[in-house]
Structure 1
């Protein structure tokens, strides 16, 4: 029987997260996103692990800047979006939605999630019950629309929301407390959201990461996933309006928040 992957959250820069995935059986290790080499190397050294794979979600510097340094030290295979190969570090494996890819003995589903950038991808590992979403679906939020449209992001979030509710969402930043403050302006009466915001305040006061979070928790509290809910439309005065338009309005409000 294959042992489950060990997943380690690695804080990087001021508010980024990278993730190490380790297979105890084979001893092989993968990294999702590479914001900063030093903390990643420190975590690997502490655990006596090498680095065999680097998976990249999108091209922004705070997700790829450490790739070359890590490649020089560990010689990992670098995996990223075929559509973004021209602006990612040199890829050893190019993937797109529908690509059959295996990592550390597990099947990986590549999900194209444009919005934050047009070439953003997420990696879903059904066996490990984990999805690595970076700056698409985030804890209590979603990424800013730097390149893609609101329509693209709404469709991307719909793909992620359709995953099993127990899936753990590994997103790319510690923005959760600020996202919670905004979410309360949309749904001040949401008791699940109120409880989550209180839990987040305690966690951050103790220096505890709020990532990962469960998809079920996001569905019950994240306003960007809830733009199709009657109670959300009612709360912001958009009853009867198309859900994509409601999402667009919520994203605009967050940009001004």
Structure 2
């Protein structure tokens, strides 16, 4: 049998969520990240003859964890979740913290604690594949709302992501990129806009994004190298700039 490279498939759920299914074709095994809904995820595993071998959770919001219990009742597998969300999640097998490595099949995930959206939020970084599963911390042209954390925490979490290799692929859990593009276009028309990126880069991004969406293709995964040039929240040079942008985006 020819060895094939592991891959990530996106399972759309709800209006704009994705469940990520990491597939090891050599063993017909799958590892699922943030199954907010069970039925579609379970059906995908059955349709593709995959055995579920692990579930990774980034944070406690229901659209990320709501499908975990029915999914593992049908496809038994260990659940990994952030320790700081233990009281909110309550049904993981392994609790993870900053700097730990989770080894599942061919994958080795480094746990990054990235508070802001929630206090216990983690991301999973796979350095060999250069994949980042960012949950709700970073989006295409945007970032997650700060439901629990401070502006300082949100800003610092993005600074950590900026230090990852530029060729990282970012798997964020929501298809928000078009809405965030509208925000960027609004920012570009402000006299005091903190955006310092090249408008030509944003125009190219917009053309490629709209072409993909017209074909009903996802904008995910994101290329970190591109987001570094056009995402206003990654371009923010200080907590005060980040705060200004986040407050402005909250009003949209």
Sort the TM-score into its range (normalised by shorter chain).
over 0.9
CA drift at 1:3: 4.4
CA drift at 1:161: 1.1
2:245 matched to which residue of 1? 250
2:193 matched to which residue of 1? none
Which segments of 5 or more consecutive residues in structure 2 lack a partner in the other structure? Answer: 190-197
1:115 matched to which residue of 2? 116
Is contact 1:4-1:128 (8 Å) kept?
A: no
Is contact 1:64-1:89 (8 Å) kept?
A: no
2:194 matched to which residue of 1? none
TM-score of the two chains, using structure 1 as the length reference: 0.91
1:206 and 2:215 are equivalent in the alignment: yes
TM-score of the two chains, using structure 2 as the length reference: 0.93
1:233 matched to which residue of 2? none
Cα deviation digits, residues 158-189 of structure 1 (max 9, x gap): 11111000010000101110001101222456
Is contact 2:39-2:71 (8 Å) kept?
A: no
Cα deviation digits, residues 100-138 of structure 1 (max 9, x gap): 321222221100111110000000001111000010011
2:99 matched to which residue of 1? 98
Structure 1 stretch 101-110 or stretch 10-19: which is displaced more? 101-110
| Match 2:235 to one of 211, 220, 226 | 226
- Helix, strand or coil for the counterpart of 1:21? strand
Q: Give the aligned CA root-mean-square deviation in angstroms.
A: 1.4
1:192 and 2:201 are equivalent in the alignment: yes
1:54 matched to which residue of 2? 55
- Helix, strand or coil for the counterpart of 1:43? helix
CA drift at 1:50: 1.6
Is contact 2:115-2:154 (8 Å) kept?
A: yes
1:5 matched to which residue of 2? 6
Give the Cα separation in 1 of the matches to 2:127 and 2:104.
12
- Helix, strand or coil for the counterpart of 1:9? strand
Which segments of 5 or more consecutive residues in structure 1 lack a partner in the other structure? Answer: 229-242
Give the Cα separation in 2 of the matches to 1:32 and 1:136.
15
Structure 1 stretch 39-48 or stretch 154-163: which is displaced more? 39-48
Q: How many residue pairs were aligned?
A: 243
Give the Cα separation in 2 of the matches to 1:225 and 1:24.
35
Is contact 2:8-2:20 (8 Å) kept?
A: yes
1:238 matched to which residue of 2? none
Give the Cα separation in 1 of the matches to 2:94 and 2:188.
42
Q: Which residues in structure 2 correspond to 1:1-257 (within 5 Å)?
A: 3-187=4-188, 190-228=199-237, 243-257=238-252
CA drift at 1:2: 6.9
